[in-house]
Amino acid sequence: MDACSSAAHEEANLTIEHQSTRWRQAVTHPSEGKHPGFGHRVEEDERFHVERDVAVAMRDGIRLYVDIIRPKGNGPFPVILTFSPYGKHGLKKFLLNGGSGVPEGWVSKYAVWEGPDPDYFCRHGYAVVNADARGSWYSEGDMTIWSEQEAQDGHDLIEWCAAQPWSTGKVGMSGVSYLSIVQWRIAATNPPHLAAFNPWEGWTDCYRERAYHGGIPETNMVRWAQWSTSFSLTRSEEFVEMAKEFPLDNAYWRSKSANLSAITAPVYIVAGWGDQGLHLRGSVEGYKQIASEHKWLEIHGRKKWQYYYQESSREKLRKFFDHFLKNSDDQVLGWPRVLYEAREKYYVGEYLPAADWPLPDRQLRPLWLDASRRKLGDVPPTEVATAPYDSANGELSFTYTFTERTEVTGNMKLRIWLQSPDSTDADVFVGVRKLDANGQKIGLAFMAEYDDGPVALGWLRASHRKLDTRRSSPEQPWHSHDAEQLLQPGEVVPLDIELWPSSTVYEAGEQLQLVIQGQDIYVYPGVRHGQVHDELRNQGPHVIHAGCARDSHLLIPVIPRAPSRTALN
């Protein structure tokens, strides 16, 4: 995208935000969010210089407030910036519970929620600047989330950091989730002093990865996001209502997704196989679509907060920043372009290098659904058969037993021929699990806290089955989500369902289990961090047709080598 078209893109996005956005007036006063009190001040610390609530003027005069934690002395120091509406005072640190794998003492009091720890980075010669987003807490203006306005504010903050007398003029960004998502938006504006950035598990497509999975509305974490962005003195975006208003992909959703092809800064991207339904897909797509010459993708199979804060991860991130922010002569440019964990079970796997993503040497293998035997096979059935399930609470599963050690890494695609006799639509949920030789489930790290997760997940509302043929590939269908195609009575239609990326090693005798049902496969009642879809269109049975012209199959990416069994500590 050239400069003129990029500028037009930004102008269109801002117009959409201002004309279409619904607002909530100051819902929760900052004082109710454990805020320590507002006002510029300098705190005493024998190791660092700590300055709170420093006003930074944006290009339109609105002031955002930042905290600065930097080493003692005049510097200059390279800067690591974080930006979010979650509160630079660390409101949400209570989420780091026992299930997260982050023990007490791992993260200092100076770290924002899901941000780099100044206690570590300041000791290695960096200044850390934590900013409260526009309209959040005591920062001025109206709060929009995942917006072009945030991108412009982040751009201005980077340039402000670079101009400070204690700064070297080189600025990086790091952080998880929201702090990662906004990095994509900011980097797409190409701030002159952005030297490198580190989006650690952050989606890039707001419609497909955050609000609607396969066209099915997500109804739990969108509400959680709204609570997280409710602390304000002004007004904030009514995201839940906006999501309901726009059930199809349109200009509103595109205004909340980064123009990835415009990004040129060096980037170290980290994703987690367990973030099925949240950040995984967008992190991988970010790597695939950005224009950066220097880019690295690392995909782990661990709990994301633990992985971000563990010592080895911080050390590797510091080496990345040392190279691009301090001009250190180290081995960063020799890192493999892609590094991924081929998992065997929970916290057991081996990290393997690759030249690119998708893996260039993958071989796509179809596993054919046998509806009569509930098996997956290497050859298609010679006769058509059907397999029904109750869309309200039923489950349909098919298994495949590997005869030799096999690595499956990449996107899987499920193609099924579906009939919904009692409804004009159907919401289909798909999961792939790993079973041992006795048919028992083998759990994997899932989301940020769980150890019993799947290999991969996928979703599709049948009326959203239309494909964008330009963007689809054999293993990754890309749905346009721009119009509904309702089912006709008795109609049998093909559905191509994208399963999010994964990497799993199967020993001879172990099984791949494909699960198809009409509701969420993994639900954790009472927890905040889980995808829930409770506004469904299902009614009565769904019927899967397989065999002959009904070419129902699971397409898997097989890697023609398998790692040795290695336990990682």
Query: Alpha helices, DSSP H only, in 204-278?
Result: 206, 221-228, 239-245, 251-254
Residue 512 contacts residue 376 (beta carbons within 8 Å): yes
Per-residue pLDDT, 20: 67
Per-residue pLDDT, 225: 79
How would you class 460 by CB atoms within 10 Å of its CB: exposed for 0-12, middle for 13-18, buried for 19 or more?
Answer: buried
Strand partners, 516: 396, 430
Residue written as tokens 């971000």? Answer: 308
Token couple for 492: 């049998």
Q: How many C-beta atoms surround the C-beta of residue 485 within 10 A? A: 12
Please say whether the dihedral angle defined by the alpha carbons of residues 336, 339, 342 and 348, taken in this order, is positive or negative.
positive
The rounded distance, in Å, linking the Cα atoms of 303 and 274 is 7
Per-residue pLDDT tens, the chain, 569 aa: give them: 343 333 334 433 444 444 567 888 877 888 887 888 899 999 989 899 999 999 999 999 999 999 999 999 999 999 999 999 999 988 777 677 778 899 888 999 999 999 999 999 999 999 999 999 999 999 999 999 999 999 999 999 999 999 999 999 999 999 999 999 999 999 999 999 999 999 999 999 999 999 999 999 999 888 877 877 888 999 988 889 999 999 999 999 999 999 999 999 999 999 999 999 999 999 999 999 999 999 999 999 999 999 999 999 999 999 999 999 999 987 899 999 999 999 999 999 999 999 999 999 999 999 999 999 999 999 999 999 999 999 999 999 999 999 999 999 999 999 999 999 999 999 999 999 999 999 999 999 998 889 999 999 999 999 999 999 999 999 999 999 999 999 998 899 999 999 999 999 999 999 999 999 999 999 887 666 678 999 999 999 999 999 999 999 999 999 997 554 344 43
Q: How far is CA 50 from CA 65, 71, 174, in A?
A: 14, 9, 19
> For the residues of 86-112, what is the DSSP string, one character each?
S-TT-GGGGG--GGGT--TTSS-TTPP
**Which are the contacts of 148, defined by CB distance < 8 A and separation ≥ 6?**
10, 13, 14, 17, 185, 255
Angle between helices 148-163 and 3-20 (to 10 degrees): 120
Question: What torsion, rounded to 10 degrees, do the Cα atoms 203, 209, 210, 214 define?
Answer: 180
**Which are the contacts of 460, defined by CB distance < 8 A and separation ≥ 6?**
214, 215, 216, 427, 428, 430, 479, 495, 496, 497, 498
